[in-house]
Chains A and B, each alone.
Chain A
Amino acid sequence: MTLTKLFATAALALGLASTAMAQDKTKVGFIYVGPIGDGGWTYEHNKGRLAVEEHFGDKVETVYQESVPEGADAERAITQMALQGADLIFTTSFGYMEPTLAVAGKFPNVKFEHATGFKTAPNLSTYSARFYEGRAVQGHIAGKMTKSNIVGYIASFPIPEVIRGINSAYIHAKKVNPDVEFKIIWAYTWFDPAKEADAATALIEQGADVILQHTDSTAPQAAAEKAGNVITFGQASDMGEYAPMPRVSSIIDNWAPYYIARTQAVMDGTWESVQTWDGIGPGMVGIGEISSAVPEDIKAEALALKDAIATGSYHPFTGPLKKQDGSDWLATGETADDGTLLGMNFYVEGIDSEIPN
């Protein structure tokens, strides 16, 4: 009897102690769409998570779940994380938008942050980076470097984020090379190395000598390297192991400062629902080193373009621009507003392809 009592008391004390400890620590959760070793998108988000741990030390505890499918299963994963006592949860893929919104409704005291989406709630923020700014630089290099005038583009899902990237790259490639043509493959996956490699190979076999990718793995880089004489760009992460050829530059996502700031806000009790969309200027989008495979003059132009975008003196979507169907979109000198960009569901004039519905 006494022994049971002793155990019960001990268990109770232990329970109280652990609750108290849990209150001391801010628990930050991350939901990833791919494995943390993908070398691209999820890899960079996880780097942000590690930066949070390093910055706050004992004051935070981070948890993460990787390779969570977009859709119904995501809701279960997010709910579970909220039930485990997370104070702040980052869901890091577009397809988590509805699940995150649903779970946010059920846990009003937990703060949620959804990457690349557009739906918010009092306890749900969105954050994204203006990757299209980096795409402009890539488009410029692609247009200058291509000899076959065919640029291959491995797209993932037909969402505004991806379409924006295609448009931005196309506009700037076309500007420096009027003969350039884009061949686009929709892979319908964020992460499937074998399929990404096949897609890159198909594009190369059809004459592309520049491959742009909006999928997360480094497989297209490997395929391009195997083919030889094809250039690529690192996506989401530097993918520097493929420099100087085929990878000639990259877009690097830098989430660490944002993750640290938002965790700090939760600790201070100053967290508010916001919509963050930062680009090259604030440092959320980085341009990886332009390798020696790019001639000096093209490199200088690309860097000048990058600086102009960073300072805000140039907007990648500046008129005159027409939509694919020939209708007017932006008048000369006019720049696109964020609303249109966030919901972008059309190609600009000149792209000979159709967006899947």
Chain B
Amino acid sequence: MDFGSINPVLLLASLMVAATPILLAALGELVVERTGVLNLGVEGMMIIGAICGFAVAVNTGSPVLGFVAAAGGGALLSLLFALLTQFALANQVASGLALTLFGLGLSALLGQGYVGIKPPPVDKLDIPLLSDIPFLGPVLFSHDLMVYFGLGLVAAVWAVLKYTRAGLVLRAVGENHDAAHALGYKVVRIRVLAILFGGACAGLGGAYISLIRVPQWTEGMTAGAGWIALALVVFASWKAGRVLLGAWIFGGVTVLQLNLQAAGIAIPVEYLSMSPYLITILVLIIMSADRSRAPASLGRIFHASQ
């Protein structure tokens, strides 16, 4: 038993890294679900993002281009979902699951030539002056760009949904698509755009795993992160701030439990291993005790003739 061997600075710094992939994917899904669409294909879009980002980063030598490609790849795959559910009016749950299976298979195919290759390194930002502040510096100001991008996205999604006209329209579509349609809003177009945004975010989350967190390409490497992101959206009651909180708790407890194990703390490992899930669910359930609820049109199919 030796708490002393756990360095809180390194722990908090790794927390930010561990939380970023699910944070990005969950934010995208949040916007999608706010427009009333349930896309269960997050895992598939993440893994496609992971391989697209990896392949492009390796071939061009530029991680930035890799992330752009990851967003593109994720959005492209989500376009398939959009076509199925918005134009062919297919069942959203089934289409989403199919998207995950398709994404996993396609990524394995695309990734065949990339096993065992190392991606170009992503530099940490090390913001001058700020990163020299003791404790806070290494925790907050010496990460890679994507960590800050994720935080910025939380703020942007929150502000857009809450304060802008676009956010209001988006929420209206998710709450009552018939009413929104009657008011003259293009329900299908808004939903397709949201789905594309969700795909791009999931793709970025996947690429964060393959380019920064691991960093390498292995088949099936997202290993369920997409499902956790999905669950996070529900437990966070479709609110951006709570998604951030949930991602931090989940990432934090994941990293902490590994550190506790390594330090030989005498808590049975089984409890430590399930703690990230339990604690995240618990905290978010307590927080969602207020009257927040799912968008009313979530998962319902819309057609203008109905």
Contacts of A235 in B (CB 8 A): none
Q: Residue A353 contacts which of B215, B224, B264 (CB distance < 8 angstroms)?
A: B264
Chain A residue, CB-CB nearest to B11? A205
Q: Which residues on the A side are within 8 Å of B116 (C-beta)?
A: 39, 218, 239, 241
Cross-chain contact B7 with A34 (CB below 8 angstroms) = no
Of A35, A186, A203, A241, which contacts B218 at CB under 8 A? A35
Residues of B within 8 A of A195 (CB): 223, 254
B 76-109 binary contact with A (CB < 8 Å = 1; else 0): 0000000000000000000000000000000010
Which chain B residues lie closer than 8 Å to A184 at the CB level?
261-262
- Contacting residue for A207 out of B5, B213, B269, CB 8 A: B5
Check B255 against A226 for contact (C-beta < 8 Å): no
Q: When the two chains form the complex, which single residue of B14, B112, B224 contacts A202, counting CB atoms closer than 8 Å?
A: B14
Chain A 33-89 residues near chain B, CB threshold 8 A: 34-39, 67
By a CB distance below 8 angstroms, the chain B residues around A197 are 213-214
**In the complex, which of the residues B112, B220, B254 contacts A67, with contact meaning CB atoms closer than 8 Å?**
B220
Query: Contact at B111–A37, with CB atoms within 8 Å?
Result: yes
Contact of B196 with A by CB under 8 A: no
A356, B223: Cβ atoms under 8 Å? Answer: no
Q: Which of A272-297 contact B (CB under 8 A)?
A: none
A88 to B192, CA, bound (A): 49
The residues of B that contact A39 with a CB separation of less than 8 Å are 115-116, 218
Top 3 nearest A-B pairs (CB, nearest first) are A35-B219, A356-B269, A37-B219
Which chain A residues in 147-189 approach chain B with CB under 8 Å? Answer: 152, 158, 183-186, 188-189
A130 to chain B, nearest CB (A): 26
* CB closest residue in chain A, given B111: A37
Q: Given the known A-B contacts A191-B223, A357-B268, are A203 and B214 also in contact in the complex, defined by CB atoms under 8 Å?
A: no
Whether a CB of chain B sits under 8 angstroms from the CB of A201 is yes
A199 touches which one: B5, B219, B258 (CB < 8 A)?
B258
Name the residue of chain B whose CB is nearest to the CB of A203: B262
In the complex, what residues of A have CB within 8 A of residue B37's CB?
Answer: none
**Contact call B5/A186, Cβ cutoff below 8 A:** no
Contact B14 A226 (CB under 8 A): no
Q: Which residues of B contact A152 (CB under 8 A)?
A: 262
B47 to chain A, nearest CB (A): 11
Interface residues of A in 180-229 (CB under 8 A from B): 183-186, 188-189, 191-195, 197-199, 201-203, 205-208, 217-219, 222-223, 225-226
A197 to B258, CA, bound (A): 11
Instruction: Please measure, in the bound complex, the distance between the C-alpha atom of A36 and the C-alpha atom of B220, giving whole angstroms.
Output: 10
Q: Does A337 contact B (CB under 8 A)?
A: no
Number of A residues near B (Cβ < 8 Å) is 44
- A354 close to B (CB within 8 Å): yes
Evaluate contact between A354 and B266: CB separation under 8 angstroms: yes
- Asked if B125 CB lies within 8 Å of chain A CBs, one says no
A171 CB to closest chain B CB (Å) equals 19
Given the known A-B contacts A186-B273, A193-B216, A197-B214, are A202 and B258 also in contact in the complex, defined by CB atoms under 8 Å? yes
Kindly state whether residue B240 has any CB partner on chain A within 8 Å.
Answer: no
Asked if A301 is at the interface of the complex by the 8 Å CB criterion, the answer is no
Closest chain-B Cβ to A268's Cβ sits at a distance in Å of 36
Interface string of B209-246 (1 = CB under 8 A from A): 10001111011111111000000000000000000000
CA distance A295 to B181 in the complex (A): 74
A325 adjacent to chain B (CB < 8 Å): no
On A, residues with C-beta under 8 Å from B are 34-39, 67, 152, 158, 183-186, 188-189, 191-195, 197-199, 201-203, 205-208, 217-219, 222-223, 225-226, 239, 241, 352-354, 356-357
Which A residues touch B216, using CB under 8 A? 193, 218-219, 222
Number of interface residues of B (CB under 8 A): 42
Whether B264 and A183, one on each chain, are in contact in the complex, defined by CB atoms closer than 8 angstroms, is: yes
| Interface presence of B10 (CB below 8 A) | yes
B6 close to chain A: CB less than 8 A: yes
| A206–B111 alpha-carbon span in the complex (Å) | 34
Known: A37-B111, A194-B221. A222 touches B118 (CB 8 A): yes
- Tell whether, in the assembled complex, residue A194 and residue B214 are in contact, meaning their CB atoms are under 8 Å apart: yes
- A202 near B255 (CB under 8 angstroms)? yes
* CB of B170 within 8 Å of the partner chain: no
Contact pick for A37, options B18, B117, B218, B259, CB 8 Å: B218
CB distance from A328 to the nearest CB of B (A): 25
Distance between Cα atoms of A102 and B245 in the complex (Å):
45
Residues of chain B with a CB closer than 8 A to A35's CB: 108, 218-220
Minimal beta-carbon separation of A140 from chain B (angstroms)? 23
CB proximity to A under 8 Å, residues B1-24: 5-7, 10-11, 14, 18, 21
Given the interface pairs A194-B213, A353-B264, A356-B268, the reply to whether A217 lies near B258 with Cβ below 8 Å is no
Q: Mark B176-200, 1 if CB is under 8 A from A, else 0.
A: 0000000000000000000000000
Task: Say yes or no: is B133 at the interface (Cβ < 8 Å to chain A).
Answer: no
Residue of A at shortest CB range from B209? A194
7 pairs of residues in contact across A and B, judged by CB atoms under 8 Å: A185-B258, A186-B261, A193-B223, A206-B5, A206-B263, A222-B214, A225-B118
Q: Are A206 and B259 CB-contacts (below 8 A) given A188-B273, A194-B213?
A: yes
| Distance between Cα atoms of A225 and B225 in the complex (Å) | 24
